[in-house]
Amino acid sequence: MDTKIFTKMSYGVYIVSTMDGERPTGCIANSIMQITSSPATVAVSINHDNYTNGCIEKTGKFAFSVMAEDSDTGLIGNFGFRSGKDIDKFEHVDYEMVQGIPVVKYTCGYVVCKVVNKMETATHTVFLGEVIDTGFYEGMGEAMTYAYYHNVVKGKSPKNAPTYLQEKKDGDASGDKDEKKEKYVCQVCGFAYEGVELPEDYKCPVCGVGADRFVKQ
């Protein structure tokens, strides 16, 4: 079975948010879809290992902010490759509270939902949410698609994402290599930089860390 066919399906890039008691938290998701229009209902898939999963369960509400192509890609690194159990992901993020749930600014907008049902799979919980509020942020670009994130931003999927695919290791693929270029991989988000040498002042375009967090492959 060739699971690469799943990369041809349409996905977006979203910041799913909720509350951890009195503290906001959240994670990156790409598997969100509208189920019905009246009442407006959506479904979101969250990995069991994501700290956000249990927080949505306890809070009974969640929101998702729609990433724009010109949104700060550092948001993806912050929400997608770090755990809300260990850090406050919203500490340096511009956000506001809507219906008691945090939503991220400088995105296309947001949708706030109350959980009305759920379904468990082997690895993910699919939360069914009835929409209770929405909003737009003017002046942002087009909504970021999963394809744009991979093809333009050159980002990687978090290992807990439903669309995560194990990448081949060096040597698995055939073909000649360009010996003039070196590959440096971000140890936070997995972004790969290819060039003759990694600049000392280089910052990861996905998660924002410096050159010191890159390892030469």
Count helices and strands in the chain by DSSP H and E runs: 3, 12
pLDDT digits (tens, 9 = 90+) for 127-145: 999 999 999 999 999 999 8
189: how many CB neighbours lie within 10 A of its CB? Answer: 25
Could you tell me which of 46, 125, 48, 50 has the C-alpha nearest to residue 82? 50
In which residue are the tokens 């040597």 written? 171
Assign 98 to helix, strand or coil.
strand
Mean pLDDT of the region 162-167: 48
Q: Which run of H or of E encompasses 58? A: helix 51-59
pLDDT at 189: 73
pLDDT at 125: 96
In which residue are the tokens 């919980």 written? 125
pLDDT digits (tens, 9 = 90+) for 169-202: 444 443 444 456 788 888 777 778 888 888 888 8
Are 26 and 75 in contact by the 8 Å Cβ rule? The answer is no
pLDDT at 102: 97
The pLDDT of residue 165 is above 50: no
The pLDDT of residue 159 is above 60: no
Mean pLDDT of the region 198-215: 82
Assign 105 to helix, strand or coil.
coil
Are 68 and 76 in contact by the 8 Å Cβ rule? The answer is no
